[in-house]
Amino acid sequence: MIINTAFRLLLTFNATFLLVVIFLVQKGYTLGYFFTKNPLITQFPNAVSYLLYFLIPVFLTWLSIILSAKLGKDEFKKGDVASIEHANNSFLPSYLGYFFVALSIGNWETLFFVYIVLFIFTFFSQALYFNPLFLIFGYEFYNIKTKNGTSIFLISIYKYKKPQDIEISKAHRINNYTFIELE
pLDDT tens-digit map of 32-83: 888 888 888 778 889 999 999 999 999 999 999 999 888 889 999 988 999 9
Distance CA 2, CA 164 (A): 35
DSSP 11: H
pLDDT in tens, 19-46: 899 999 999 999 888 888 888 877 888 9
pLDDT in tens, 112-139: 999 999 899 888 875 556 788 898 999 9
Distance CA 96, CA 141 (A): 16
Across the chain, mean pLDDT equals: 87
Give yes or no for residue 158 having a pLDDT over 90.
Answer: yes
Distance CA 153, CA 142 (A): 6
User: Which of 140, 62, 132, 55 is CA-nearest to residue 96?
Assistant: 132
Q: What pLDDT sits at residue 49?
A: 92
Helix 88-104, helix 18-27: angle, nearest 10:
40
Distance CA 169, CA 78 (A): 10
